[in-house]
Each structure stands twice: as C-alpha cells, then as structure tokens.
Amino acid sequence: MDKGLDLNEFLIRHPAATFFVRVEGDSMIRAGIHSGDILIVDRSLEARNNNVVVAVVNGEFTVKRLRRQGPSLFLHPANEAYQPTEVTPQMDFDIWGVVVYVIHAV
C-alpha cells in the first residue's frame, strides 16, 4: 500500500458542484438514509425520475425521491409515516442537487 486511499477520487465526480449535507429526520429511512447521515450531493447532475434529491420547498430543505406521474411531479418519502408531496405551481420549489452517496456509521 504505497498510496493512501482518497475517497474524493472514488466518490466525487464534479468537485466544484459537490456538497456534503447532514440529514435530520427519518422520512427516508427505508431508502437507507438515517438521521445524522452525510449525503454527497452533486448539483451538476440533472434530476431524473426516481432520483433521491435535495429540494427546497417554500424555503425548507428536504430529501425525497423525485417521481413524475404524468404531468405531475411528486416528492416521495421512504417512510410510511409520511405522505408524498405534490409540487404545485404555487410552491417556491427548486431541486438543489442529486444525492449520489450516503455515508453513515454502522
């Protein structure tokens, strides 16, 4: 082992557009995302159907799975205790980035 392991080489494709975000809450627990986890979020990626995204809804950050159903767009939690949120034109909504990795302690 001549060279140390640099996780940036393996986990970050777009350094200028990649951020680390710490999770609070349990709405994505069935997707393996727990409170206290660190998400690696790439802002350069275009969000696609079924991606886990960090979104801003009416000024609040949230982590959810993006789902398009016909002409409608929804943010789906991965916890049955929460309901999906339909994104409407009345909302202040922006997709902040796409989650590419989750780091959590075991």
Amino acid identity at 50: N
- Could you give the residue numbers annotated as active site? 27, 64
Please say whether the beta carbons of 78 and 33 come within 8 A: yes
Both tokens of 79, joined, read 């916890």
Q: How far is CA 103 from the centre of its chain?
A: 12
Neighbours of 95 (CB within 10 A): 18
